[in-house]
Amino acid sequence: MNFIYLFLVYLAFLSSNVITADKSIVVESLDSEYQKKLLKKVGEVLPELASYPFYTYPNNGHELVMERFPNEKVLLFGYGSLMNKESASRSMGPDALNSMYPAIAFGVKRMFNYKAKKTEHWGENQDIKEKAMLNVVQTLNMSSIANGVVVEVDLEDFTRLVQRETGYDLVPVLIGAWKNIEEQDPDVEIRVAYTFAAAHELRDHIDYTSTEFYPVRGYLHAVQDATKAYGDVFATMWNATTFLADGTTSINDWDEQTFDGILCTGKR
């Protein structure tokens, strides 16, 4: 499965040399030549990415990837609630929290298309269509990016996080440190990390994704607040690379006071 996916990614990579992130300030500020060099570095690591296993929920055998990382600490890319240190602290220890740094992942698209069962703790007076939480979809385009954080987790924290992320597969992605990319560092290191991605397929006879629901606003605001810790440019980029379940409407373009006129939904 991963070989076929990475082969298609490589073919797509050959025809792509400009980063796409809609109206992200950080992308507009990057020199076009640097973007090409950055994506070339990403392409050079694709063969390594292809050697890492994909896991499907419930991610049995996930502990085997520990041996692929130095000191048996897995690099994990978080793009939603894991960016909020208070939320992350419920599933990882202080060493992992202290290792957290902002990063960019390549070949992914962030969307609010994961259907959550319990959302009451994210605020009162929620709309009946307010049930979507974050997910990432792997794309065939390495120039499709999303920003988030990377943490180094040991086996205990890793297992706890795997158990926490119900319905999400465990997939490898390529990441680069935000600081180096923002500074247009030609020597930025592109590394393999794992992240959680819910596929639009049945897992244990359940489809955990849906195109019928809108973001849980309390959850959205908590993550947006977390992005501000890394500066205005980072926060702006997060909004520009985060989409509703239709995959085209960015959070910037959503009037969160209403729940009409965007998604095709029969839920009222």
Amino acid 139 reads T
What six digits make up the tokens of 242?
A: 């985060």
Q: Alpha helix (H) ranges present in 116-171?
A: 155-164
The answer for residues whose C-beta is within 8 angstroms of residue 199's C-beta and 6 or more apart is 56, 169, 209
Report the topology of domain 19-262: Hypothetical upf0131 protein ytfp (3.10.490)
Structure tokens at 174: 């390529």
Q: Is 15 helix (H, G, I), strand (E, B) or coil?
A: coil
pLDDT in tens, the chain (268 residues): 455 555 555 444 544 554 544 444 346 667 888 988 999 999 999 999 999 999 999 999 999 999 999 888 999 999 999 998 888 998 899 999 999 999 999 999 999 999 999 899 899 889 899 999 999 999 978 889 999 999 999 999 999 999 999 999 999 999 999 999 999 999 999 999 999 999 999 998 899 999 999 999 999 999 999 999 999 999 999 999 999 999 999 998 887 877 766 775 544 4
Q: CA nearest 174: which of 144, 134, 133?
A: 144
Domain locations in the chain? 19-262
Residue 103 · residue 188 · CB < 8 Å: no
Task: Give which of 88, 92, 102 is closest to 175, Cα–Cα.
Answer: 102
